Amino acid sequence: MDTNGYFTESNSADVVTSRIGEGTDPRLKEVMSALTRHLHAFVRELEPSQDEWFQAVQFLTQVGQKSDDWRQEFILLSDVLGVSMLVDAVNNRKPSGASESTVLGPFHIPDAPELPMGADICLDQKGAPMLVKGRILDTNGNPIDAAKIDVWQANDKGFYDVQQKGIQPDFNLRGVF
C-alpha cells in the first residue's frame, strides 16, 4: 500500500480499511475490513458504470427509508439474498441427518403465548384454517422430550401481526407449543 494513503484502483480497500479507528472493537474491525475488501473486489470484477452504481445506491437507500423501529427492511434484504441463512448455518453447524438450521426471521418476537397442542392461533378468525401435525426427533429417530415449537404465520393478506400493528391483534397467528 502507498504509505501516503493515496487511493488507487489497486489499493482502494487497503486505504479505506487502514482508516478504521484504533479504538474500534477488534471483531467489528475485522468484519468491516472484510466487507470493504469484498465490496471493492465486487466493483473491480463487475466494473459498474456510475449510473448503475447510483441505481444500486438508490435501491439501498429506499430499503433504509422503509425501515423504522418495528419494520427492519435490511434484515429482509439479508434474508432475500440468503445471507441470513448462511450466517445461521455457519453458526449452527449440524450433524449429519439433522434438520438444516434456519433463521428466526425478521418476524419472530419473543414471549409468544404458550398454548396447548391443538390450540387455534388465529385471533381474528380470518383466512382458511390449517392443521399441522408432525414429530420432533433426534438424529437417531427418537422423540425429543419436551421439545418446543414456536409458530408464527402471515395472515390471509400475507402480513405478520408485527407488520400491521393496530390492524391485527397482537400475537395473531403466533404460539409456542
- pLDDT tens by residue, 109-130: 889 999 999 999 999 999 899 8
Helix, strand, coil % (nearest 5) of the chain?
35, 5, 60
Give the pLDDT confidence of 82-119 residue by residue, as tens digits: 898 899 989 999 998 898 888 877 788 889 999 999 99
Grid cell, residue 81, equals: 439474498
Which band of pLDDT confidence, cut at 50, 70 and 90, is reported for residue 4? low
pLDDT at 99: 86
Percent of the chain exceeding pLDDT 90 equals 66
156 vs 2, residue with greater confidence: 156
